[in-house]
Structure 1
Amino acid sequence: MSRPDHSRTPVLQRAHRLLPPFLRKRPRIDPRRPQSDIQGLVLHGYKIMDAACFLLLRIEEPSKARRWLREILPEVTTSSDKSSEQRSAWKTSLNLALTWSGLKALGLPQAALDTFPTEFQEGMPARADILGDSDESAPDKWDFGGSSGPAQQGELHLLLMLYGTTPKEVSSLVAEHRRRLEEGGLRELGSQQAARMRNAEGGIVEHFGFRDGLSQPQIQGFREGKHEAPDHTDAIKPGEFLLGYENEYAETPDSPSVPATLDVKGTLSPRADRPDWKEFGRDGSFVVVRKLQQNVEDFQRFLEAHKELAVGDTDERKKQWLAAKLMGRWPSGEPLRPGEDAPPTHARSEKHWIDNSFGFNEKDPDGYGCPVASHIRRANPRDSLPPSAELSLQVSRRHRILRRGITYSDDTGKGMLFIAINANIARQFEFLQQTWLNNGKFGGRYDERDPLTTHGAGRLTLPSQPVRRCVEGIARFVTMKGGGYFFLPSLRALEFLAHLEPKQAVS
C-alpha cells in the first residue's frame, strides 16, 4: 500500500479524511529512499505554492491529540520526488513541528526530553540576548511565542504549516483543519497568514523590493529540485540540515533519542551505541521561525534622506544604488561588482537566470562592489573571511541554513515570516545572528552591524576611490514580532508520537 498522493482533488482529499483511521492508507517509508521519511518543507520549500497559513496550537488533551496525529499522518507531505504529472496537479501541502513544551505535552518522558539541545529546550525568548531581540523586538512585545500573551512560549506546542497554490485552497484547508482541532484535543492560540510576492518576471521578492530565496545550499546526496540560481559552493553534507547524517565536521553528532521500551510498534531504529535506546531525531531537523516586520516606509525615507551619497543620474537610480549597497545585491538579485554602478542589463537577466556562483576574495576583497558589512555578505561571507579563501569557504559551509521564508501582510504590518532549517540551532542560526549579523566587529569593520536587520546598526562604510563614503544614521528597518524554535520530526518519529503510551514512560 502506497502513501496517499497529495495531488488528489480537494473533494477526494476530504472524502479520504472522513474515512475511519483503520481504513486509511498509512504512510509507507521506503528505507532505500530517505526522502519518504523527511517532511517536505526540508527539500521542497514549496516555491510553487504562493499562499500559506500557520496555525499556532496548544495541546489540551494529550490522548486526543495523539489520536488526531494518527489521523492526519497520511496527509503529511514528504520530501519524496514527484513526477511531472503529479507536480502539475500538486495543490496543497501540510507539515507540522513541535516545541520542546509540545513534545512534553504529547507525552515524551523527561529522559527523552533531556536528549534535546539546550537552546531548543530553553526556547527563543530565553535566547533574546544572543539574538539581539531587545527594545521594540523584545519577547514581551511579540505577537506569538514570546513571554506574554495567549500564544506565549510555554503555551505554544505545535505549528501546523498549511500551503497552497492559491489563497482559496489554503482557506479551504484551514477551515477543514480548524473543524478537527477541538475533537483532536487541540486549541488554536493564533494564526499567521502569508503569501509570496512576485515581480513581473515571476521571481519571488520581499517588501523592500529585492529578489528573495536565491542563495540556497545544495544537500549532498539529496535532490531538492531545479535551482534557478545554483550556489557557488559544492553540495553540503546532509548532517548540516538533517539529524542522523554526517556533517561538515565529518561527524554524526548525537541526536534526540527515546528509551526503546516506548517504541511499542518498533517504528524507530536502534542506536548503534545504545541498543536500549531508539533514534528519535534521525531524518528530522530543527525549524527557526521569526516574524520579521519590515518598516518599508522608514526604509524609503532613509533612502530619500541619504540619496546624495549615492551614485546615479536620477534620484530613483541613486536610491536604488544605496539600497543595493545596504542589501549587497541589486534588487534584481544580480551581484554587485566593483566598477558597476548600475544593474546589468544583459541577456541573462532577461532569461531570469541570476548569477549566484561568485565569491568575494579574488575580485572584491575590500568591498568596492559589495560592501563588507552589507546584509548578504554578512549572512554568507563565502570566501571573504581571513585568513584565506579556502578556510573561509570551509567556515561558511559549517554555518549555512536552508531558508524557507514567505512574506506576509496583515493588520499588524507587513514583512517576512523567516523560516530556517538547520540541524544545530546554536552553531548555525544563532551563530549567524550573533557573530555575523549583530557583531559590530566583522570583516575588519568596527561598530558596524547588519544595516537591514539589526537594532542600532548606526553606519555602513562604502569603500570608494579616492575617498570612501560612510552612510550614517541607519535605524531599525526590521522589528522582531514573534517566533520560536521547533522540532520537525521525521515520518517515523511522528508515527512513534502518535502511538506513544505515556504510562510506559521512563523518567
Structure 2
Amino acid sequence: MSDQDADEAARTLPLRHSDDIQGDILAGFRKDHETVLLLRFPDDLAPVRNWLRRLIPHIATTRQVAAFNAEYSTARHTLAGTDPAALNATWVNVSLTYAGLRFLMDEEPFPDQQPEGVQAFVKGAFARAEINGDDGESAPGEWLFGRADQPVHAVLTVASDDQAKLEVRASQLRVAAARAGLTVTFEQVGATLPGERKGHEHFGFKDGVSQPGVRDFDRPDPRDPIHVHGKPGTRILPAGEFVVGHPKLTGEAPPLPEWTRNGSFQVVRRLAQDVPAWWAQAGAARRQLDKEGIELPPGTGTEWLAARAVGRWRSGASVAHNPNAEPPTKPGAPDDNLISYVDDPEGHTTPHFAHIRKTNPRDGIGGDFTNADTRRIIRRGIPYGQPFDPAAGTGHGPDADRGLVFIAYMADLAVQFEFLQQAWVNNVDFLQPETGNDPVIGKDTDVNLKLDTNPEGKKLHFAQFVRTEGTVYAFAPSLSTLRSLAG
C-alpha cells in the first residue's frame, strides 16, 4: 500500500487505525489457538497496578490486529486459500469485571444513575442467570466459573496462530500474575477444529457466518454502501453499537463516565455441547414427520431437519436460498448472508425457531432491519475439546468435554446480549404464538415446524443439549483508560 493509499484509508476508516481500542473488539484475533485466563486480585492494590502497568505494552491494539489481518488475507488469497505459515502473531486482550474495576479505581466506577446495561454489569452474570435462561443444569450453582462465591477480577484472552507460541505467552502471563499475587481461578483452552472441520462448531455447522460490519472500520461496497465490500449481506452499523462513546443507530446512548469511551462490554461463556444427543433427537424428529405422514421434499433426511433447526446447512449455505438440499461448496465464494425474511413471514422456509432467525431476525420484524440491528453483538467464539469421533480414540467419545468458548462484545449488556437471550432465544412466542425456543442454544422446548404442505404446523420436541458451564460479564477498557488505572 502506498503512503497516499494509507493516508486515504486512515481518513476514511479512522477506527481501523485506532491505538486506543483494544484488539479483538473490532479487529478480531481470528486465531487457531486461544487461552482464556480468569484472574482474582489480591488485597493489596499496589502490586495489581504494577502488574497492569507491565501488561499494557503486550496488549494488542485495533491498528496492529487490523493490519495483520489484512496482510494475512492478502497472502491467503495469493496462496489460493492456503494459510500462509510464515505469517503468525500472538495477541493479548484484557477485560475487567465490575469488582476488578472498583478495586483498581478504589472508588465507585459508576457514581451516577445507572442504565440497565450498567446494572447488569454491576450485578454480574450469576445474578442475571434467569434472564439469560441459565437454570437447571445451566444454573450458576453448577458453573465452573463466574459463581457468586468465586470472584473474578480480570479476564485475559491470549490467541495465536501457533500453539507453541501461545503456550509460551500464556505461561509468561501466568508467571507475571503470580508474582503480583494474582490467582488464576479458571483457565479455558480453545482451538479451531482440525481438517475440514475448521471454522465449524462441534455440531458440525460453519460458525461466525453472520457478523455485523462497523462504520469507520469496515470498507463499504461502493455499489452497495450499506454492506461491507466483498461481503454481501454484512450490514454496516454505527460503531456505538459495539464501542462506548461513539454514535449509535438510534439516537444518543445513555451517558456513561468518560473512562468508558473506546471500551466495550464483554460476555465470556463456556457452552458445553452434547453432540451425539443433539443429532439423535434431530433424527428422531425427522422420523416422527415420516410416521405422521407429513409431506416433505423427496430425499430429505436428518440433515434437512437439522438445517431447519439452525437455518443453515453445515457448509453455512442458508436454508432461505437452498430450502431442500445443501448446494456444492464454491471455493472463494462470499458467505451466504444476503438474506431477507420478508417473503417468508410464516417461516415455511426458514422457521421462526431457527437459530439464525432467532438471533438475527433481519428484516423479519416490521419489514426492516432496525429491530435486529440494534441487538447485534460481535462474536469471537472458538471451540474447545476434541471433535466427536469415537473411532478416533480417547477424548473423542460422547462423554468428553467439548463445546464453545463464547466471547462477545457490545455497548450494552441489557439491550443486546440479555435481550437476545430473553426476548428471542428463549421466547416460545417469538414472532408468533407457540413458535418455541431456539432448538440449538435455547432451553428445552416444543417447536412448531410449518411447511407449505402443512401450514398449521407440527410440534417437535427439542431437549436442551447446550449447557452453560460458566459466564462472566466484563469490560474491555481503552488503552488510555488502562494506563490511567495502572497509574
Question: Shorter-normalised TM-score: what interval?
Answer: 0.7 to 0.9
The residue aligned with 2:335 is 354
Displacement of 1:338: 7.1
Displacement of 1:446: 1.7
The residue aligned with 2:91 is 93
Number of positions where the alignment pairs a residue of Structure 1 with one of Structure 2: 431
The residue aligned with 1:57 is 39
Q: Deviations over 1:329-362 (max 9, x none)?
A: 11111111377311122xx634343221111103
Q: Deviations over 1:301-320 (max 9, x none)?
A: 11232232275766xx5111
Opposite residue 103 of structure 1, the aligned amino acid is L
2:279 to 296, 300, 318: 300
Opposite residue 57 of structure 1, the aligned amino acid is L
The residue aligned with 1:265 is none
The residue aligned with 1:22 is none
Give the 3-state SS of the residue equivalent to 1:110 in structure 2. Answer: coil
The residue aligned with 2:354 is 374
1:217 and 2:212 are equivalent in the alignment: yes
Displacement of 1:199: 5.4
Structure 2: which 5+ residue stretches go unaligned? 1-13, 74-85, 222-227, 291-295, 387-394
Opposite residue 373 of structure 2, the aligned amino acid is R
The residue aligned with 1:247 is 248
8 Å CA contact 2:41–2:182 kept in 1: the answer is yes
Q: For structure 1, which segment, 464-473 or 95-104, has the greater mean C-alpha deviation from structure 2 after superposition?
A: 464-473
Question: C-alpha separation between the residues in 2 aligned to 1:198 and 1:111?
Answer: 43
8 Å CA contact 2:88–2:162 kept in 1: the answer is no
The residue aligned with 1:125 is 126
Give the 3-state SS of the residue equivalent to 2:405 in structure 1. Answer: strand
The residue aligned with 2:160 is 164
Question: C-alpha separation between the residues in 2 aligned to 1:32 and 1:373?
Answer: 36
2:28 to 35, 45, 49: 45
Question: C-alpha separation between the residues in 1 aligned to 2:321 and 2:339?
Answer: 13
Displacement of 1:123: 0.4
1:281 and 2:225 are equivalent in the alignment: no
Give the 3-state SS of the residue equivalent to 1:291 in structure 2. Answer: strand
Q: Which runs of 4+ in 1 moved over 4 A?
A: 31-34, 83-88, 111-116, 224-229, 310-314, 466-469
1:342 and 2:342 are equivalent in the alignment: no
The residue aligned with 2:8 is none
Displacement of 1:221: 0.9
8 Å CA contact 2:189–2:384 kept in 1: the answer is yes
For residues 221 and 177 of structure 1, do their structure 2 counterparts lie closer, same or farther at Cα, with a shift above 3 Å needed?
same
Give the 3-state SS of the residue equivalent to 2:47 in structure 1. Answer: helix
Structure 1: which 5+ residue stretches go unaligned? 1-30, 258-278, 500-507
The residue aligned with 2:467 is 479
Opposite residue 370 of structure 2, the aligned amino acid is Q
Displacement of 1:254: 1.3
The residue aligned with 1:332 is 315
Question: C-alpha separation between the residues in 1 aligned to 2:437 and 2:175?
Answer: 46
Opposite residue 476 of structure 2, the aligned amino acid is L
The residue aligned with 2:419 is 431
For residues 366 and 229 of structure 1, do their structure 2 counterparts lie closer, same or farther at Cα, with a shift above 3 Å needed?
farther
Displacement of 1:164: 0.9
Opposite residue 473 of structure 2, the aligned amino acid is Y
- Superposition TM-score, scaled by structure 2 size: 0.82
- Superposition TM-score, scaled by structure 1 size: 0.79
Question: C-alpha separation between the residues in 1 aligned to 2:423 and 2:367?
Answer: 19
Identity fraction in percent: 33
The residue aligned with 1:489 is 477
Question: C-alpha separation between the residues in 2 aligned to 1:183 and 1:118?
Answer: 33
8 Å CA contact 2:243–2:261 kept in 1: the answer is yes
The residue aligned with 1:102 is 100
Displacement of 1:203: 5.1
Displacement of 1:413: 1.4
The residue aligned with 1:290 is 269
For residues 313 and 444 of structure 1, do their structure 2 counterparts lie closer, same or farther at Cα, with a shift above 3 Å needed?
closer
Displacement of 1:252: 4.1
Question: C-alpha separation between the residues in 2 aligned to 1:178 and 1:191?
Answer: 10
For residues 183 and 321 of structure 1, do their structure 2 counterparts lie closer, same or farther at Cα, with a shift above 3 Å needed?
same
Displacement of 1:417: 1.1
Question: C-alpha separation between the residues in 2 aligned to 1:114 and 1:436?
Answer: 31
Question: C-alpha separation between the residues in 2 aligned to 1:336 and 1:70?
Answer: 50
Give the 3-state SS of the residue equivalent to 1:428 in structure 2. Answer: helix
For residues 380 and 173 of structure 1, do their structure 2 counterparts lie closer, same or farther at Cα, with a shift above 3 Å needed?
same
Q: Deviations over 1:29-71 (max 9, x none)?
A: xx99762100101122122x11011111011132111101111
Opposite residue 176 of structure 1, the aligned amino acid is Q
Question: C-alpha separation between the residues in 1 aligned to 2:432 and 2:244?
Answer: 35
Question: C-alpha separation between the residues in 1 aligned to 2:164 and 2:262?
Answer: 32
